[in-house]
Amino acid sequence: MQTGLIQNAHNDLVTDAAYDFYGLRLATCSLDHRIKIWQLDENNGTWSAASDWKAHDAAVSRVSWAHPEFGSVIASGSFDRTVKIWEETTGDVEQPQVNGNASTPSSSSRWVERAVNQDAKGSVRGVEFAPHHFGLKLATIASDNNLRIYECLEAPSLATWQLTEEVDVLSLPSASPASASHTHTIAMATPTQTSTSLDGPPASLVASALQQHQNQPPNRPGMGNREADGGWCISWCKDRYWGEIIAAGCGVSGVVKVIQLSSSRRPTTLITLDPSPISEHLSSNNPSHSGDQDGIVRSSVTSVAWAPSCGRSYHLVATGGRDGHVRIWRLKPPALDDDRMEGADEGRWTGSIVADFDHHKFSVGRVEWNITGTVLSSAGSDGRVRLWKATSGNVWRPAGHISVEQAEEQQEGDVDMDDNNATE
């Protein structure tokens, strides 16, 4: 595996990084309020800054690329409670300078602010464009617990975005009373799970404000009024067949809700992914953890990633949380011939944990799949990017890790990401 290193990318902590559709450009954002676009030189594998501008009046938490059929477009979310849409324009087109947009002198293009959405009542911590077959749509989630879906009504100009859905994730009902909770989420122990307790304090995802109240009771009623109580992360289902489905992590309970969106009715929860049955299973079968039965540790899920389906009969969803765990969930949709039978058991989505890793030991800030959904990467507060892949029998194993120090040492060659590198 070949790695690259961008030295001193920002003047403060980098909060997110996202590749474009072709993997040749990289957008990064930071606590320094700026967004940068990096261009890959395919000849030598180095990255150079193509654009750099002040995008928000507070820390920028997330960036997301739209599909290239809609042009060169990115969305950004910030702690200033806004979501902004940016479009790249050629240098010879007269456009107003917005927010101190300052492309590098050698750049022939620049990024222009096209729209600002200000509906959030808290810090925006997740933004992601929908798969292109659903049109130019954008999902956001903020610390006010609300999932919001926007649709562009003027695709050429990108100026008008309609808020089509706004729903409190914590209070979102299930599709039917019979499948209303995680009791229908099947938890299965696998060889990848560990029972090691984590004694270290979780690290912040993007700012010290997010470190507050980690030990507060997890089931606070109503809308949370602190950063840690709100929405954290979202990820769209990539499969067109099942319609518009999105996974959202919200609150401090450590659960992820899989939400069905529809133009004809309100959003509903298809299934709730709750890892706590795993904790109960480990406690009841491990005498050394028998004392933990009365206090299951729950932490916010800070990142979720839905894998490309690539012809599977099931879906893979990865989560990373402030408890230091990377989990891989296997979701089984209803049988094809029963998916329209309302109220039937066969019509429910089911889920199981197929992998549970705690190698990071501290907070996991990002999980991401490769293009085929066969390799998962995770980045944590331990300063490492770790890889996970399935072996024969669909058993998930560590596939190595890389740190900044290793990348500096191996910039001139390939990094050997084998299982031996993951041994600590």
Q: For the residues 280-287, what does the mean pLDDT come to?
A: 36
Report the range of poorest mean pLDDT among 70-79, 205-214, 253-262. Answer: 205-214
Domain boundary among 168, 197, 213: 168
CATH number for the domain spanning 263: value is: 2.130.10
Task: Mark whether 132 and 226 lie in a shared domain.
Answer: no
pLDDT, position 226: 57
pLDDT, position 65: 98
- What's the pLDDT band for 286 if we cut at 50, 70, 90? very low
Task: Mark whether 324 and 221 lie in a shared domain.
Answer: yes
Query: In this predicted model, what pLDDT tens digit does every residue of 187-197 receive, in sequence order?
Result: 333 334 333 33
Domain boundary among 117, 151, 168: 168
CATH number for the domain spanning 92: value is: 2.130.10.10
In the three-class reduction of DSSP (H, G, I as helix; E, B as strand; rest coil), residue 422 is classed as helix
Task: Mark whether 160 and 180 lie in a shared domain.
Answer: no
For 131-199, the DSSP string reads PGGG-SEEEEEETTSEEEEEEES-TTT---EEEEEEEESTTPPBSSGGG-SGGGS-----TT-------
Report the range of poorest mean pLDDT among 252-261, 304-313, 327-336, 404-413. Answer: 404-413
Task: Mark whether 94 and 239 lie in a shared domain.
Answer: no
pLDDT, position 309: 84
**Residue 259 belongs to some domain of the structure:** yes
CB-CB neighbours of 195 under 10 Å: 17
In the three-class reduction of DSSP (H, G, I as helix; E, B as strand; rest coil), residue 410 is classed as coil
Domain boundary among 168, 189, 208: 168
Q: For the residues 298-302, what does the mean pLDDT come to?
A: 89
pLDDT, position 109: 81
**Residue 4 belongs to some domain of the structure:** no
pLDDT, position 396: 94
State the Cα angle at 343 between 341 and 349, rounded to 5°: 80
**Residue 153 belongs to some domain of the structure:** yes
**Residue 379 belongs to some domain of the structure:** yes
Q: For the residues 19-31, what does the mean pLDDT come to?
A: 96
Report the range of poorest mean pLDDT among 49-53, 205-209, 223-227, 243-247. Answer: 205-209
Report the chain's mean pLDDT, rounded to a whole number.
Answer: 79
Report the range of poorest mean pLDDT among 75-79, 86-90, 340-344. Answer: 340-344
Query: In this predicted model, what pLDDT tens digit does every residue of 240-273 receive, in sequence order?
Result: 999 999 999 988 889 999 999 998 889 999 999 9
pLDDT, position 198: 34
Task: Mark whether 262 and 385 lie in a shared domain.
Answer: yes
pLDDT, position 277: 61
Does pTM top 0.75 for this prediction? yes
Asked whether the predicted pLDDT for residue 92 surpasses 80, the reply is no
Tell me how far apart the alpha carbons of residues 402 and 5 are, in angstroms, rounded to a whole number: 11
Asked whether the predicted pLDDT for residue 185 surpasses 50, the reply is no
**Residue 6 belongs to some domain of the structure:** no
Report the range of poorest mean pLDDT among 95-109, 154-168, 208-222, 365-379. Answer: 208-222
For 304-344, the DSSP string reads EEEPP-TT-SSEEEEEEETTS-EEEEEEEPPPTTTTT-TT-
Task: Mark whether 164 and 179 lie in a shared domain.
Answer: no
**Residue 321 belongs to some domain of the structure:** yes
Q: Identify the domain containing residue 82 by its residue range.
A: 11-168
Asked whether the predicted pLDDT for residue 104 surpasses 90, the reply is no
In the chain, what percentage of residues exceed pLDDT 90?
56
Q: For the residues 138-158, what does the mean pLDDT come to?
A: 94
Task: Mark whether 156 and 283 lie in a shared domain.
Answer: no
pLDDT, position 230: 84
Question: Looking at this protein, which amino acid is placed at residue 110?
Answer: R
Task: Mark whether 322 and 244 lie in a shared domain.
Answer: yes
Report the range of poorest mean pLDDT among 96-100, 323-327, 380-384. Answer: 96-100
CA 109 vs. chain centroid, Å, equals 29
Question: Looking at this protein, which amino acid is placed at residue 310?
Answer: C
Asked whether the predicted pLDDT for residue 386 surpasses 50, the reply is yes
pLDDT, position 7: 85
Task: Mark whether 253 and 299 lie in a shared domain.
Answer: yes
Task: Mark whether 189 and 157 lie in a shared domain.
Answer: no
Report the range of poorest mean pLDDT among 234-248, 368-382, 395-409. Answer: 395-409
**Residue 97 belongs to some domain of the structure:** yes
Greater model confidence, 197 or 236: 236
- What's the pLDDT band for 211 if we cut at 50, 70, 90? very low
Burial grade of 218 (CB within 10 A; 0-12, 13-18, 19 or more): middle
Total structural domains in the chain?
A: 2
**Residue 5 belongs to some domain of the structure:** no
Q: For the residues 136-147, what does the mean pLDDT come to?
A: 96
Task: Mark whether 179 and 163 lie in a shared domain.
Answer: no
- What's the pLDDT band for 393 if we cut at 50, 70, 90? confident
Task: Mark whether 155 and 302 lie in a shared domain.
Answer: no
Asked whether the predicted pLDDT for residue 410 surpasses 70, the reply is no
DSSP assigned state of 298: -
